[in-house]
A and B are shown apart, each in its own frame.
Chain A
Amino acid sequence: GNSVTQMEGPVTLSEEAFLTINCTYTATGYPSLFWYVQYPGEGLQLLLKATKADDKGSNKGFEATYRKETTSFHLEKGSVQVSDSAVYFCALSRATGGFKTIFGAGTRLFVKA
């Protein structure tokens, strides 16, 4: 079946450090891939997405590239800020037997000033 695996957290970084959060997926066919962000006590917001192989999604300094050969969609940011502290979810969706989004377990990021 379809699934998403992301690196366990929490990840703790100092401000301006480089961020990588790993995400790999298992799916048949060609899913769309997403990163969502959740701030404390809130729902999820879409951060970026990619719909086909080699697409790069980017937003607010974050980026991720859809790598079909390695079934990965790693999230990166060159210089994190304290305000980036949140939980990040990798997800996939495809329309088979009902349109559903499948989420990874989430990775909590703490950024220290």
Chain B
Amino acid sequence: DGGITQSPKYLFRKEGQNVTLSCEQNLNHDAMYWYRQDPGQGLRLIYYSQIVNDFQKGDIAEGYSVSREKKESFPLTVTSAQKNPTAFYLCASSPPGTGLGTEAFFGQGTRLTVV
């Protein structure tokens, strides 16, 4: 079945450590996104990528980094520079082109807790 796979589902790290969240899709989508969700709040865009080897900062990119070496993969690294990294992280992708009604497909999320 096609979809987006995020791993792990739960992740615990010590303060000051970098951590990388995995996101893989087999939907053949060009565009991929990372969002952060905090309790009781909406989704905030961290980074997005429209095509392989290219990505742009979203609204809250500070303290995060990404790479897009393959179409299927868009890993997110939460660095020690991110002041409040504990959150629920969602990866999404959308189909090729920019046609009307193009929806985003989401993974199941990774809950990161920094202690």
Show the binding face of B for A, using Cβ within 8 Å.
4, 6, 31, 33, 35, 40-43, 45, 48, 50, 56, 58, 90, 92, 94, 98, 100-109, 111
Contact = CB atoms under 8 A, between A and B. Distances in A.
B100 A52 contact: yes
* Interface SS majority for chain A: strand
B103 A99 contact: no
Nearest to B3: A43
Nearest to B109: A43
Contact of B108 (A34, A42, A52, A100): A42
Interface size class of A (residues with CB under 8 A): 20 to 34
Given A45-B106, A99-B50, A32 B43 contact: no
B98 A95 contact: yes
Given A43-B109, A98-B56, A100-B33, A32 B41 contact: no
Contacts of A86: none
3 shortest interchain CB distances as A-B pairs: A95-B98, A43-B106, A105-B42
Given A46-B104, A93-B102, 17 more contacts: A36-B104, A36-B106, A42-B108, A43-B90, A44-B43, A44-B106, A46-B103, A98-B56, A99-B31, A100-B58, A101-B92, A101-B94, A101-B104, A105-B41, A105-B42, A106-B40, A106-B42
B31 A106 contact: no
